[in-house]
Structure 1
């Protein structure tokens, strides 16, 4: 256990006494839940693919130390360093995301990944948190000096990012990025008439996607009318929750992971419901809610607009991704291939989330006077 004297002025001591320890503890507990569920869900998937029994678990556990080091390392930064680091990282991964259209590896009909030997990188995962911080910077500079075209720059970057994501295609991530950007623009002072206009554009985009993209049409139709198409995965997911009951069937005793190809990623929450029960699922939901509520509580106390917008964007993004995954798994919305933060298997997802939470922990640290 860490113990530091309040008179200790070392970097780690100042970090320990200024960090939001409830927020940090909640994130670490989510990571621990993810490690347990990866061990529970991934062996049958690995067996179906003729891989080693613990292939996915070993890979995930290999990423965990790097993710935790990344999160703690970034949380040591001050807001100015976070802003610079996010801007540089955003620029790098924007180029890498663009490169997926030329050198990307196609998986399940989407070119979102770059193969780096034993590691497959999904650059767009890193665009989400870094763009939220860059957008916060542009909007805050615009509000400081109305002559600075920060809102136009940010809007241009948003169109570029959204365009890259749509053409991969990745409509789920596009929706998350759009929602966060819209929320930040609203908090920065977007006039109400433009709020309505942005909402209409988003709705129009959703309608166009429904009528022009086959898999979007299929998923929405199957959600509205379960008899309209194959609902095998969602039916097995709902059965898993029913079989798990209040306390679950026990670790390793579930069946859903043997029949769902994405049991270790998109449907890992169903594995939690079947093997550990409703109580465990509510505990996981409570951890996500704690992260979101602690982030918002710190945000509302913030006087610096950049920090307020950045924290709001990071927290909204984290919570929205979790809600989309759990709502898809429980048939509260059309299915969407989106990971459950820190719990679903995936190296790029794990590292990008660690980066996001590191920036969130940094920006929510107590600072003298709240100055940058």
Structure 2
């Protein structure tokens, strides 16, 4: 047992971190291991790899992800701000390098290989961007004379422009939704929020008009007869085949033909083999993580911690909701991973970084520490 009287960094972390939230995240990670084992072998076999290639890599990425998650959860709000600034700057530089040197796959440049590792820099940019935007909004509330909101708009335009150039409209919409939610939480006028939504809708319409693969996906969603809907149709069949309790581990049919059964459509594979009951359990885990974080954020006296934790929770929850909605044919197909469930090294490590910051920002801290952080944050030049 860890005594409350111990004054070690670990004991202080253990008694201040939200252990229920941490437990839910660990359960989600373990569920990802099980579903990766169920969904990935047929994909690996089809492309001539060892049957457990993707599963082994999933587990391999899980260890550093967990280390990142726990390590980041030890950080103070000040350290989180500084780390987010560094991660965002590095991510933006890598996105620019990807646009210049990354390979083009299906009309997009989203990956760059460094030291033999494929990196999708937009994944790490997302949580860092949310934290920086939250800090700027909190500074705007404390010091109205500071052009913090304009700076927040500036980094939004920078990141969105780079993502559109890849192009990656799924991540772009996720960033815009998270930023808009933060904008609203920070107390900005509703007319500006509606204006942002209008700009996003206009951007989506422009993408429909001028980007062929975006137009194709939207047309297939609105009228399935207009194109190839094999993946979403197979995913829906998987839900139907699975019923409430599923066909049993390893008995799924959809994963034998679904090209992205271990990434975008792992939720459908889980439904077929383990049933709708498992899907509801996964949905409940995501809902618990988001709502628990939002409730802890609301109780925080520190504006930055409140905004950043809420923004990260919304980012996490919206990404999960988009993936599950695509599997259920409620949204057009997008390349969006299911947090901690889908295969993907960059995605998993970046999610661990974001969730680690959520845990750090929702830790119980003495009031004197919160007031000290707020005073320091109000000091000019503070980061």
Secondary structure in 2 aligned to 1:355? helix
Q: Residues 102-141 of structure 1: CA distance to partner in whole angstroms, max 9, x if unpaired?
A: 1112233211111124320111100000000011111111
Name the structure 1 match of 2:265: 267
Measured in 2, the distance between the counterparts of 1:145 and 1:293 equals 29
Name the structure 1 match of 2:131: 133
Asked if the contact 1:101/1:168 (under 8 Å) is kept, the reply is yes
TM-score (norm 2): 0.95
Asked if the contact 1:43/1:53 (under 8 Å) is kept, the reply is yes
Name the structure 1 match of 2:376: none
Name the structure 1 match of 2:381: none
Tell me the number of residue pairs that the alignment of Structure 1 and Structure 2 aligns.
370
TM-score (norm 1): 0.98
Measure how far apart 1:196 and its partner are.
2.4
Measured in 1, the distance between the counterparts of 2:194 and 2:282 equals 35
Measure how far apart 1:357 and its partner are.
0.5
Measured in 2, the distance between the counterparts of 1:107 and 1:276 equals 33
Measured in 1, the distance between the counterparts of 2:113 and 2:312 equals 28
Asked if the contact 1:249/1:277 (under 8 Å) is kept, the reply is yes
Task: Please point out which of 168, 171, 196 is paired with 1:170.
Answer: 168
Task: Please point out which of 211, 217, 234 is paired with 2:232.
Answer: 234
5+ residue gaps in structure 2? Answer: 374-383
Secondary structure in 2 aligned to 1:8? coil
Secondary structure in 2 aligned to 1:13? helix
Matches within 5 A, 1:16-27: 16-27=14-25
Measured in 2, the distance between the counterparts of 1:203 and 1:106 equals 27
Matches within 5 A, 1:102-117: 102-117=100-115
Asked if the contact 1:248/1:277 (under 8 Å) is kept, the reply is yes
CA RMSD of aligned residues (A): 1.0
Measured in 1, the distance between the counterparts of 2:243 and 2:122 equals 37
5+ residue gaps in structure 1? Answer: none
Measured in 2, the distance between the counterparts of 1:193 and 1:232 equals 41
Matches within 5 A, 1:354-365: 354-365=352-363
Secondary structure in 2 aligned to 1:111? coil
Measured in 2, the distance between the counterparts of 1:289 and 1:78 equals 26
Q: Residues 296-340 of structure 1: CA distance to partner in whole angstroms, max 9, x if unpaired?
A: 111111221111110111000000000000000011111111000
Say yes or no: does 1:192 pair with 2:182: no
Measured in 1, the distance between the counterparts of 2:192 and 2:221 equals 31
Name the structure 1 match of 2:35: 37
Moved over 2 A (4+): 105-109
Task: Please point out which of 51, 61, 70 is paired with 2:49.
Answer: 51
